[in-house]
Amino acid sequence: MGVIETSGLTKQYPRVTALDHLDVTVGEGVTGLVGANGAGKSTLIKILLGLVPATSGSATVLGHDVATDGGRIRALVGYMPEHDCLPADVSASDLVVHMGQMSGLPYAAARERASDVLRHVGLAEERYRPIGGYSTGMKQRAKLAQALVHDPRLVLLDEPTNGLDPSSRDDMLALVRRIGREFGIAVLVTSHLLGELERVSDHVVVLDGGRLLRSSATTDFLHATGSLLIEVQGRPDADRLLGQALVDAGLVARPADGNLIEVEVRDETTPDVVRDLTVDLGLGLVRMQERHHRIEDVFREGGAGSVQPV
Ligand SMILES: Nc1ncnc2c1ncn2[C@@H]1O[C@H](COP(=O)(O)OP(=O)(O)O)[C@@H](O)[C@H]1O
Ligand SMILES: [Mg+2]
């Protein structure tokens, strides 16, 4: 049985159908839930937590029915909401201890767990200062810590990278990956950016207008839609040289803005091919990153051709 299973799940608001007969299964590991703004990601998460009732259809989380067992589900699941809900005059430390107690931990245990999770998310001394003075990145970390304090089986992270600069974004994504890999907690993480979740997810689910557009292992997904942006140095024509070598190696490569090269990901060996060719040419690899598509762009660019409705 999946960690999350939905069947014909539908949410009708007066003006919009937020979820439209959604059938999806989420397993262990890290699952990215991707879709443009308004695709229905947050609505799905709130229904899964038993916070919002579905109009029709059904869903289970860890085997519990969302319609009748919301309390039990919320005891087993950690939730990082999309929007800020943090009290400005309370420290992250006090907040997370409090949330731990709300989840049923005795005070001493809540303190111990809070200190552990705050360390894991990388909130150091600042955790004793009022949250009102935090940067967006620190607030996101505090929100993540409170989702983890009661040692959940599953966490639902709603747009954890929202509002973060690129370096904090990478840190947050690395944390998400650790939660799934090292702590063995199942993760459902949402984003309106397609490229960023490919890096950390074992599986990607794409929602479009409340419907399931695609659900597949990340490697298949990268295969269908991914590309890498590469920057090399060492000679004035380094980018041209590597571009030619990539094409000679049978890959699809083209120049991109700022002397970068964009190469289509063929399979999981593509990054290794890039690295090897760079070394063979005696060039230095400055960076290689997955291209961050906005999901809308992927559909528009004809990526949609390979992203088939299921
Ligand atoms: N409480 C609500 N009342 C009416 N419409 C809503 C409500 N919540 C969400 N919606 C609508 O449902 C659709 C899906 O929203 P949402 O689940 O927040 O999408 P996402 O999280 O993918 O951006 C949107 O069209 C949104 O305007
Ligand atoms: Mg949302």
Query: Each residue of 164-223: pLDDT tens digit?
Result: 998 899 999 999 999 998 889 999 999 988 778 887 899 999 999 999 988 887 766 555
Same domain, 96 and 142: yes
Q: What is the mean pLDDT of residues 216-242?
A: 82
Q: Looking at the CA of 44, which ligand is closest?
A: 1
Ligand 1 mean position to 208 CA, how many Å?
Answer: 12
- CB neighbourhood size of 219 (10 A): 15
Cβ pair 234, 255 in contact under 8 A = no
Domain hosting 245: range is 224-292
Say yes or no: CB of residue 19 within 6 Å of ligand 1.
no
Does the pLDDT of residue 295 top 60, yes or no? no
Q: pLDDT: is 156 or 36 the higher one?
A: 156
Ligand 2 mean position to 68 CA, how many Å?
Answer: 24
Does the pLDDT of residue 76 top 90, yes or no? yes
Asked which of 163, 188, 221 is the last residue of a domain, the reply is 221
Q: Which two tokens stand for residue 236?
A: 């004035």
Ligand 2 mean position to 122 CA, how many Å?
Answer: 25
Cβ pair 310, 255 in contact under 8 A = no
DSSP, res 126 = G
**84 — pLDDT class (breaks 50, 70, 90):** confident
Ligand 1 mean position to 193 CA, how many Å?
Answer: 17
Same domain, 125 and 228: no
Instruction: Note if the pTM is more than 0.95.
Output: no
What per-residue confidence (pLDDT) applies to 52? 97
Q: With pLDDT > 90 as the criterion, what percentage of the chain qualifies?
A: 73
| Ligand 1 closest atom vs CA 158 | 21
Give the model confidence (pLDDT) of 86-97 as tens digits.
999 999 999 999
Same domain, 151 and 86: yes
Ligand 1 mean position to 207 CA, how many Å?
Answer: 13
Asked which of 221, 250, 265 is the last residue of a domain, the reply is 221
Same domain, 92 and 136: yes
Nearest C-alpha to atom 5 of ligand 1 is from which residue?
Answer: 13
What per-residue confidence (pLDDT) applies to 286? 92
- 307 lies in some domain: no
- 193 lies in some domain: yes
- 298 lies in some domain: no
Same domain, 86 and 213: yes
| The residue type at 240 | R
Ligand 2 mean position to 81 CA, how many Å?
Answer: 9
Nearest C-alpha to atom 1 of ligand 1 is from which residue?
Answer: 13
Same domain, 213 and 236: no
Give the integer Cα–Cα distance in Å for 278 and 280.
6
- 309 lies in some domain: no
Same domain, 235 and 95: no
- 246 lies in some domain: yes
Same domain, 189 and 285: no
Same domain, 206 and 86: yes
Cα 279 to its chain centre, rounded Å, is: 32
Tell me the CATH number at 188. Answer: 3.40.50.300
- CB neighbourhood size of 148 (10 A): 25
Say yes or no: CB of residue 16 within 6 Å of ligand 1.
yes
- 305 lies in some domain: no
| CA nearest neighbour of 179 among 207, 198, 151 | 151
Same domain, 160 and 268: no
Say yes or no: CB of residue 191 within 6 Å of ligand 1.
no
Nearest C-alpha to atom 10 of ligand 1 is from which residue?
Answer: 18
The answer for residues whose C-beta is within 8 angstroms of residue 153's C-beta and 6 or more apart is 3, 62, 76, 77, 185, 186
Give the integer Cα–Cα distance in Å for 77 and 156.
7
The β-bridge partners of 262 are: 229, 254
Q: Could you please report the per-residue DSSP string of 145-190?
A: HHHHTT--SEEEESSTTTT--HHHHHHHHHHHHHHHHTS--EEEEE
Q: What is the mean pLDDT of residues 256-272?
A: 87
- 17 lies in some domain: yes
| Ligand 1 closest atom vs CA 45 | 17
| Ligand 1 closest atom vs CA 207 | 22
Tally the C-alpha atoms within 13 A of residue 15's C-alpha that lie toward its C-beta: 1
Same domain, 212 and 288: no
Say yes or no: CB of residue 13 within 6 Å of ligand 1.
yes
Residues in the chain: 310
Give the integer Cα–Cα distance in Å for 218 and 78.
24
Same domain, 125 and 203: yes
